[in-house]
Structure 1
Amino acid sequence: MLRLLNIEFHKLKHNRASKVLSIIYFGLLTSIALIAAIKFDIGPVKFHLAEQGIFNFPYIWHFNTFIAAMFKFFLLLVIVSMMANEYSYKTLKQNLIDGLSKKEFILSKFYTVIVFAAISTLFVFVVSLILGLIYSDFNELSIIFSGLEYFIAFFIKLVGFFSFGLFLGILIKRSAFAVAAMIVWLIIESMFKGYLYWTFRDLKMAAGAEVAKIMQFFPLEAMANLIKEPFTRLGAVKSVAKQIGEEFVADYSVHVFDVIIVLIWTAIFIVLSYKLLKKRDL
């Protein structure tokens, strides 16, 4: 494993685009801390976002993993360009000539995906912990270390997403087209979701539940289900909703079934990547 990772990181070390994208990605993750600086002071109206509870434990784990997941496209570019460069610079063929099997080659990419996801998860955890210790109203250890399952979901979400990107990179060979294919797939899922809502429109309130039962098995939707939106969970939002006669009833927890679906898709993407590479004449 270490030998395969060493080969991959040696390639990345000499890839300027990958280094720039990685720096931008981790810079954006760090920028979550800037949310604490958002203040509005207009006459009698004073608003400080950090004081609204978004950095309270354990809510911060949910909020920050959800926000951080939005930046995953930057690392996706690193993953797909990593594969595109293998074809462009003939390093894939050279690795195979040097004795690396196709199975080892795919594993080296998958191990890199896992490392990227693990570093991202640890980074978000550290940033969130620091922000929470500074701004949270609750600092009891039992509260601080509750809700950490969101980081498990975040890690699995990144691994699944990057594995999808790896498969597209091998399938299409060009980074720009691979990213475009990911966006097209997202549009296809969204259009199909809209079609399902139209199909079940007569069910009214039950339509959403029926659509969710079907859509949960699609790869990008399954990844999105791992960490649901945290905004309606915020106390300030609930208070405003009550004042206008609305009430949010939602399940924000991480479900094992959603985790299993994403893990299955991850396995499918890696196996398909290997099968594709095995059949392809290099």
Structure 2
Amino acid sequence: MLQIIKIEWLKVKTYRTFWILLGLAVIIIPASNLLVQDITSRIPKQVQSLLGTSAYDFPLVWQSVANVNSYTSAIFALLLLTLVTNEFTFKTHRQNVIDGWERKDFVFSKLFWVLALSVLAFVVSVLTALFFGFFYGTSAFNMEGFYYLGYYFLQILLSLCLALLTGILVKRAGLAIVLYLGYVMIFEQLLVVTLKRFWGSVGGLLPLQTADELLPFPLIGKMLPGVQQYDNMVYLIALLGYIAVALWLIFRRLLKADL
């Protein structure tokens, strides 16, 4: 595995696009939370008194950061799509096999990026939550609600698995990015709205929506107490199931398809 990681490092070490996208993906996590914090700080005091606490006070800060960051996962997905489709564009995946890699080694090399980017996003999110909680919050440090960042980790893991699956199926960077963004930003959202309108909570069981149901913005939840949904465990099981199915499809495709 260390040899695989070393080879993957050599592929990106001088790849400027990779480092630019990675930098943007990391920066947007605290930047987006700074924007939300600025907006919430402008809420009139009368409304804030009704809500009872700030979104960036401990322990709500864990949930707030996880919710905001869930909307930035697509940038990490674009980065992964670029890496994966480059393998097919420049035929490096074939060269790896010619040089002695087994097919499963190539699969593991791509899953390494899925895990590495997910862990990076999680760590940056934890640091962001700590900074905002201590700097902008008024409550004492509290770990209650930290599990929301665990939900966020699973959300970005699923997002990257879907991006990887899209990349290996389409193989062309431009088309893969369009299809992925089209599904994430338009198609699934339309399905969610339609299903929720006619069948209620069923709409929350679509792949990426399962994580959204687990990551509501805390203050919004107080203003919409009557929203119908399943128990969190249902969404969590569905989310883990989608990750497992995506991984199975990735292995099946790369182990069986003609490289």
CA distance in 2 between counterparts of 1:254 and 1:79 reads 32
Alignment of 1:91-130 (within 5 A): 91-130=92-131
Q: Quick check: 1:114–1:159 contact (8 Å CA) kept in 2?
A: yes
Q: For the aligned residues, what is the CA RMSD?
A: 2.8
Q: Quick check: 2:57–2:138 contact (8 Å CA) kept in 1?
A: yes
| C-alpha distance 6-230 of structure 1, shift in aligned 2 (>3 A) | farther
Alpha-carbon offset, residue 220 of structure 1:
2.0
Q: Quick check: 1:197–1:211 contact (8 Å CA) kept in 2?
A: yes
TM-score by length of 2: 0.85
Greater C-alpha radius of gyration: 1
| C-alpha distance 4-215 of structure 1, shift in aligned 2 (>3 A) | farther
| C-alpha distance 53-253 of structure 1, shift in aligned 2 (>3 A) | farther
| C-alpha distance 46-215 of structure 1, shift in aligned 2 (>3 A) | closer
Q: Quick check: 1:228–1:252 contact (8 Å CA) kept in 2?
A: no
Aligned to 1:3: 3
Picking from 211, 220, 236, the partner of 2:208 is 220
* Larger deviation, residues 262-271 vs 60-69: 262-271
Alignment of 1:78-227 (within 5 A): 78-139=79-140, 141=141, 144-186=142-184, 187-197=186-196, 200=198, 210-212=199-201, 214-227=202-215
| C-alpha distance 168-280 of structure 1, shift in aligned 2 (>3 A) | same
Q: Quick check: 1:150–1:254 contact (8 Å CA) kept in 2?
A: no
Q: Quick check: 1:69–1:154 contact (8 Å CA) kept in 2?
A: yes
The percentage of counterpart residues that share the same residue type is 23
- Is 1:29 matched up with 2:17? no
- Residue-by-residue CA offset, 1:20-43 (whole Å, 9 max, x unaligned): 111011111121235555676xxx
CA distance in 2 between counterparts of 1:174 and 1:97 reads 22
TM-score by length of 1: 0.79
Aligned to 1:68: 69
Aligned to 1:257: 234
Q: Quick check: 1:8–1:108 contact (8 Å CA) kept in 2?
A: yes
Structure 2 unpaired stretches of 5+: none
For 2:55, the aligned partner's letter is: I
Q: Secondary structure at the match of 1:71?
A: helix
Alpha-carbon offset, residue 119 of structure 1:
1.3
Q: Secondary structure at the match of 2:56?
A: coil
Question: How many equivalent pairs are there?
Answer: 252
Alpha-carbon offset, residue 227 of structure 1:
1.3
CA distance in 1 between counterparts of 2:216 and 2:16 reads 35
Q: Secondary structure at the match of 2:225?
A: coil
* Larger deviation, residues 265-274 vs 26-35: 26-35
